[in-house]
Structure 1
Amino acid sequence: MKILDIYINGFGKFHGRNLSFEDGLNIVYGKNEAGKSTIHTFIRGMLFGIEKQRGRASRNDLYSKFEPWENSGTYEGQLRLEHKDHIYRIERTFQKNKKEFKVVDETAGREIEPTKAFLDDLLSGLSETAYNNTVSIGQLKSATDEGMVSELKNYIANLNTTGNIALNITKATSFLKSQHKELESQMVPEAARTYTSLLSEIRNTEKEIASPEYENQIQAYQRMRVEVKDTLEVKQKEKEELIQKVARGKQVLANNQFTDQDSITAYSIKTQGTFDEYTEAKEVCGKKSKKILSVLSLVIATLLLCSAGAVYYLGGDNYVTAVYGIDSLVCIAAAVGAAIIFYLIGLILYLRLRHRQKDMELSAKVLQEIFSRHLGDTAISMDAMRAFQARMAEFTRLSSAIAKSETAIEQKAAEITELQGRQENCGEVIEKQQKTQWELEKKLEHLSACKTQAEGLKHILAENDRIREELSAIDLALETMTTLSSSIRDSFGLYLNKTASDLIAGITGGIYTSLSVDENLNVFLNTKTKLVPLEQVSSGTMDQVYLALRLAAAKLIIGDHGEMPLIFDDSFVLYDDDRLKTALKWLVKACEGQIIIFTCHQREAQMLTANLIPYHLVEI
C-alpha cells in the first residue's frame, strides 16, 4: 500500500489542507506545533477511524483532542492510496452524529463496500493496535535510561512470548489473576440460603394475608355507619317534633287546668253535674205552685192566727163555741196550732225555694265561668252544654294524642338507643378493621420488601452463576495462555530474535552484529568481542534496538500480506549525526516501500541531499 495524498477538511488546526506523498522516502518538515502529529493522527484515523469514548474517558480521547478548532460542523477528510495497481479514495466523516465511511475505487470507477475482508487485505492484516506498535514508529517515550530499558524489555517480552505487541502476557496473566481474586470477593455464598428462607417467608405471608380476617370491609361499615347516622338523625328529629308536639298539647291542657285524661273526665262529669243541678234548680224555682203553696200556707197560718185572736176576743160568744159547744180555749189552741203548722209549712216551702234559688245562682255562676273559659260565652243553655261537651271531647282527643305521642317518643327513644348502639358498633368494627388493614399494610410492605430482596437475590444468584462461569473462563484462559506462551516462545520468539538481529547490524552500521534474549528476558547486544547488556548502551542505541524490533515485528506480522508505509514521528531525536546518517542510508536500502518521516529538524533533508539520496520534501 502506498499513500498518494490526503485532504484535511476539519481536523484539529487544519481546514481545507492538501498534502501529497510519493513512492520511496518522504520528509515532512515542520517546526514544533506546526501540526505534524495532527497529520500523523489524521492518517491513522482515515485508515482505522476514530471513536468517541464515553463518560470521563471522552474528555481526553483522540476524538475530543482533534476536533476542529474552527467550523466544528466539518470534521472529515479524504485519503488516496494505491494498492495492487488500484487507486482507492477513502472518505470519512468523524462527526459522531453523522459518521460516514466510504471507499471509492477510482481505477474501476465504483464504490467499494468496506468489508472486513477488504480492509484486512488493504491494511495487510494489521489491526489498529498492531499498526500503532509496528509500522507507525515513534521514539521511546521514557525520558531516563532506566525507564527506556524497562519499556524496551517489556516490548521484547510481549513479542517473544505472544507473537503480538497487542498482548502483554505477563500483564494479562497478572490481570486475570487479579480479576479472579476480585470476582471471588464479589461472590455472595449466603445468597442461596437467604433466598430459600425468603421464599418460605413470602409463602407464609401470602397465606396469612389471604385469610378472611384481612378482608377489607371498612367501606361497607362506613356506608352502614352513614346510613345509621342518617336514620338516627331522622329519628331524633321525629322524636324532637313529638316532644314539641306533646309539650304544646300539655301546655294547652295546662292552660285549661288539665293534666291528663282523668282530669278532663272528672272536670266534664263535675260540670255536667253542676249543669244538672242548675237545670233542676231552675226547674224547681220556675214552678209557681210551690210559690203559691208557700204563700197560701202563710196566708192560712195568718188567717188561723186571726181566727184564734177573734175567738179569744169573743170568748164564749164565738160561733164555734156557740154552735158546736167547743171550748174557746180549745178553739184558740187548735187555731194557733194549725196556724203554726201552716206557717211552718209555708216557711219550709219558702226556705226550700230560697235554697234552690241560691243553688241555681251558684251553679249558674260556676257554669258561666266554665263556659266563658272554654266557649267564650256566659250563656247557659243546652246548646252551650253540648258545645262544652264537644270542647271536652277535643281535650280528650288531645290527651289521647299526647298519650300516643308519648308512647311514640318512648318507641323512638328505644329505636334511637338501638341505632346509637349500632353506630358505636360500626365505629368499633371500623376501628378494628383499620387496625387490621394497618397490620395488612405492614404485612404487604414486608411482603414487598421480601419480594424486592428476593428479586435482588435472584440477580445476585445469577451474578454468582455468571461469576462462576467467568472464574472457569479465567482458569481456562490462564491455562491456555500458559500453554500457548510456551509454544510461541519456542517458535515466534526465535524468529523475532533472528530478524531483529539481522536488522540491528544494518541500523548500527555493524557496531552490533546481533541481539539475544536469555530465559530471564535480559537483553544483550553482540559485538565481535563480547556481549553488552542493554543497560550499558546509550539512549540512542536503545532507540536503534527499539526501531529494529518494531521493523522485525512488522515483517513477521505482515508476512506475505503486502507492504505498509513506514511512518516515523520524530523517531530520530536521540540520534547523533553519524548514527542518523547510517540509519537513513540503511533505511533506504532495507525498505523498498513508502517511508514517511515527520521531523522538526532540517538535518534529515540536508544529510539526504548531501549523500545524493532521493526524497520528497513536504513542508507544513
Structure 2
Amino acid sequence: MQIEQMSATFGRLNGSQLDLQPELNVICAPNESGKSTWCRFLQNMLYGVPTKERGLLADKNRYAPWSGSPMQGRLLLRNGDARYTLLRETRRTSAPMGDAHLTYTGTADPVPGIPAAEAGQYLLGIPREVFLRSAFIGQNALAMDQDAELERRIAALISTGEEDASYSESYERLKKQLNARRANRSTGQIPALEQEIAQLEDALARQESLREQFNAAQLRLQDTQTRLEELEQQAAQWQQLERQAARRQYEEAQAALSTAQQQYRQLEQRCDVLPDEETLSQLEGQATALTQSIAARRQATEQAAQLRRQADEAMARCTAHPLSPADGPQLQSRLSALTDPPAPSKLPLPVGLLLLVGAVACVLLHLPVYAPILCGAVGAAALLYDIVSRHRHAKAKQQADDQRSTLQRQIAEYLPLLTEAQEATRSADAAAAAAEAMAHNDQAQLLALLARVRAFHSTAVDLPAVQVALSAARRSRAALRSAQTAQEQAQMYCRLLEERLPQGELPDPAIPLPRPSRSVEAMRSAIPEAQAQLAAARTRLDTISGQLQAARDPSELTAQLAEKRRKLESLQSEYEAIQLAMDALSAANQTLQNRFSPALGARTAEIFSALTGGRYDKVLLDRTLALSAEPSGDPTPRSIQVLSQGAADQLYLAVRLAICQLVLPPEKHVPLILDDVFASFDDQRLAAALEWLLQESQNRQILLFTCHDRERTYLAGRPGVHILTLNGGAVCSR
C-alpha cells in the first residue's frame, strides 16, 4: 500500500495537505510545526480515534482542531493498481472522525469487502497494536514491549499461520481458571470449600462442647446464688453501721459550727476599729509610695552631693588657670590690644641708591676725588640704616605675633574650663534644690499618713511603725474573712449532712454494733459483681440451652461434611490438571520462542551491523524482547542498558526494522513511518541509517519526519527521495 496524499483538519492542522511519493519521503520541519500531529493523524485515519481514552491527553481532546472546526481528514491511497479515498468526518462530538467512508478515488462507489471504520486492519493486514510496535516509530518510542497482537503475528509466522491464538491470552485464561479454584490461601473455590468444611467440623465440635458447657453452667448458677445471699446479709449489717456513723458525723458537725461561730464573733469585735478593705489598700499604697519616694530622695541627695563635688573640682581647675578670674569679654579686649609695631621709614633706601648712582656719575665725569667718595659714603650709610630698620621691624612684629598666639591658645584652654565650672555649679545647685523639695514632700506625706494610722494604732510614730500597723490590720482582716468562710462552710456542711440523714430512728453512737468480716469497699464491689455473675450465669445457661435447641441435626451435618469433602477432591484434581496444562503451554511457548528468537536476532544483527558499520555482528533477545549485542570479535554480550544512547537507539531501530520485515505481510507493502527517530544519532550513524532506509524504500513507502537539516542535506539529489518542508502546516516540495 502507498499513501499519495493526506488532508487534515486535526489539532494545529487546518485544511492542511501533504502530497507524498513512493519510496522515501523526507518531511523536514522545525519543532512545533506539526510533524507529530501528521503522524498521529495518519494513525487515527487508518484505525480510528480511540473513544475510550479519557483526560486531556486523549487524542479526541489533545488533537481537537485549534480552529474550532470539526475533526476530519482524507487519505488518497494506492493499493496495487487500485486507488482508494479514505474519508473520516465528525458527526457526533463524542465520536470524532467516527463517520468513515472508503471509496474508489474519483467515484462515490464504496470499496466492497473493506469496512471503512477498520480500513487499517484490512489495508495493512495488521491490527493497530502491531502497527504501533512495528511500522510506526514515534518520537522517543524506539523501544518496544510485548503485546498479544504482536505475539499472534509472531506465532503465525513460526507455526500454523493462524492468528487467533496467543500464548499470553491462553495462559491468562488458564490462570483465571486456576485462580478461580485457588488464587492464594484465602480466595478461590478450593479455599472457600475448605472453609465450609472447617465450619461444618467446627459446628459438630461446638455441639459437643455446648453439652459440656450446659452442665457446667448449671453448677455455676447454684454457687453464685449462695454467694450472693451471704453478701446481702453482710450488706445489711454495714447499712446499720453507716446509719450510726451518719448520726455521729452530724452531731460532730454541729459542734464544729458552734466553735466557728464563736471565733467569728470574737474577730468581728476586734476588727470594728480597723479601716475597711478599700481604705486599708489606699493606706498601704500610700506607705509603699512614701517608701519609694524616700529611696528616691536618698538617691537624689547622693547625686546632688556627687554633682557638688564635680562642680568644686571643675572650679578648682578653672581657678588654677593663668587667665582666671577674667571672663570672655575681658579676654577679647586683651587680645584686641595686641597690635603690630609701626612700619620703618621708606626714605633711606631710595636716597642711598641715588647717592650711589651719583658717585658712579662723578667717576665717569672725572670730578674731584672727594665728590664720589662723599656720595658713596652717604649712600652706603643710608642703605645700612634701611637694612637695620627693617630687621628691627620684623623682630618686633614676630614678638607681637607670638604674644597674640600664646594669648589665643590660653583663651582656648580657659574658656571650656570656665564653661564647665559654671555648668557644674548650676547642676549641683539644681540637684540640691530638688533633693530639699523631695525631703519637704516626704515629711508632709508621712505626717498625713501618721494622722490616719494613729486612728487605729496610736503608737505609730514613723514609717516602719506605720507599715507594721498596716500589716497587722491586713492580717486581722484576713483572719476575719477566713473565720467567716469557715463558718459558712460549717453551716453548709451541717445542712448537707442533715439532708443526707437516713429516714427513721438512727442507732445510738454510744452502743457498739457487730462488724462484718468484709470491708465496706469490698462489699460495695462484691455485691454488684455477684449480681452480674448471677445474671451472666443465667444468661449463659439460657444461651447454651437455646443454642442446643437451635443447633442442626448432627446426622445432617455429617452428611454435608462428606459431600463437601468429595467436591474438594474433585476441585483439587481440576486444579492440578490446569496447572499441568499451564506448564505444558509455557513449554510450548518456550519452544516457539526458541524458534523465532534466533530468526529475529539474526535479521536484527544484519541490520544492526549495517547501521554500526560492522562494529556489532550478533544480537540476542528473549521472549520479553530484552536485547543484548555482541561486538565483532568479542563473544561477551552487551546488554542494551550499558550501551550508549546512540548505540541503544540503533539497536532498537534494528529490531523494529527486523520485525517489520519478518512480521508485516509482505504483499501489503506496509508503509514505514518514522518521527524524529535519529535525534541521538551522530553523522556517521545517521548516514548508515539513511542508506538502509534508501534500500528498504525499494520494498515499501517510507515517511521520515525530522526537525534537522542533516537528513535533507545527505539525501539531496538522491534518486527515489522526495523532500518536503513544513512551515506551520504549509508544505513546500523540493
Give the TM-score normalised by the residue count of structure 1.
Answer: 0.47
Taking structure 2 as the reference length, what is the TM-score of the superposition?
0.40
Q: Decide which structure has the larger Cα Rg and report it.
A: 1
